[in-house]
């Protein structure tokens, strides 16, 4: 695809097999970027295939971002395939929606992917970006970094960590021309949302009636709406923005 807001930029998107990650990978391809789809879910291959069928450039690399060897290999593959890495979207996450009752194993799973996995992905992508003197990294935090929610302790702790990790990464990488920002979504309807509804026995009507009014816009968001915010921070349109959280929450935190 020629032209577009990301023309000439190579993007890596973690957790891109579904949800916000998938929407981001597809939008980036529409905007001219070759996309490297990373996920433990092999459905990521279908995402890359659909991008190619629409005329874009994309590859899928099966990757567990909590494993350093996987991350190192994936970033090397991205650079070998497309020659550089310009954009990294740290979207991959596990949703451990538990409070103080969360097991040590659950805590490790959450921290290993959401926090350490993000740090590893940033480390190895930034090495590639440094070779070209520029780059943009977008982390996916959450409104859960700003507010207290019942039985969200394990998840919210990781998203709050990402908020300050963004600032620290931005500080350390600024001398290399690399910007780091984060997007903080409100309630977004994704496959993970549907799984949560199934686990809790909640109907769609119950889910919407409970969650929509929490947002000033009185509805939940879509993955593509978040993807457009990520696109802005990934593109040169945000060239003087770094270390900044962008709320994409329909006004949730303003209440």
Backbone angles phi, psi at 29, to 5 degrees: -65, -40
DSSP class of residue 97 equals -
**Active-site residue identified among 124, 155, 207, 252:** 155
Rg (CA), the chain: 17
Phi/psi of residue 249, nearest 5 degrees? -130, 15
Please give the C-alpha separations between residue 60 and each of 65, 83, 135, 210, in angstroms, as whole numbers.
14, 16, 21, 37
- Residue 184: partners with Cβ closer than 8 Å, 6 or more residues away: 141, 142, 143, 145, 146, 159, 163, 245, 246, 247, 248, 249
| Among the listed residues 194, 18, 30, the one whose alpha carbon sits nearest the alpha carbon of residue 93 | 18
Q: How many other C-beta atoms can be found within 10 angstroms of the C-beta atom of residue 85?
A: 24
What is the C-alpha to C-alpha distance for residues 187 and 179, in angstroms, rounded to an integer? 26
| Nearest Cα to Cα of residue 178 among 225, 245, 228, 234 | 234
Query: Is 155 an active-site residue?
Result: yes
| Residues labelled catalytic | 155
């Amino acid at each position: 695809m020629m032209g577009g807001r990301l023309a000439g930029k190579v993007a890596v998107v973690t957790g891109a097999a579904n949800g916000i990650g998938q929407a981001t990978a597809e939008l980036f391809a529409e905007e001219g970027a070759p996309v490297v789809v990373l996920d433990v879910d092999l459905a990521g291959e279908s995402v890359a295939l659909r991008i190619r069928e629409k005329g874009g450039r994309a590859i899928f690399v099966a990757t567990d971002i909590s494993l350093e060897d996987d991350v190192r290999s994936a970033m090397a593959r991205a650079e070998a395939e497309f020659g550089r890495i310009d954009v990294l979207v740290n979207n991959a996450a596990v949703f451990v929606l538990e409070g103080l009752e969360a097991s040590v194993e659950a805590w490790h799973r959450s921290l290993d992917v959401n926090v350490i996995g993000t740090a590893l992905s940033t480390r190895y992508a930034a090495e590639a970006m440094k070779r070209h003197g520029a780059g943009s990294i977008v982390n996916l935090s959450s409104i859960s970094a700003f507010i207290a929610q019942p039985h969200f302790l394990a998840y919210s702790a990781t998203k709050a960590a990402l908020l300050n990790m963004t600032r620290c990464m931005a500080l350390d990488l600024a001398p290399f021309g690399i910007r780091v920002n984060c997007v903080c979504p409100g309630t977004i309807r994704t496959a993970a949302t549907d799984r949560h509804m199934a686990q809790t026995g909640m109907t769609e009507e119950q889910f919407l009636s409970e969650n929509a009014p929490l947002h000033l816009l009185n509805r939940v968001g879509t993955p593509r709406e978040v993807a457009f915010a990520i696109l802005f921070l990934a593109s040169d349109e945000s060239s003087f923005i770094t270390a900044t959280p962008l709320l994409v929450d329909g006004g949730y935190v303003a209440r």
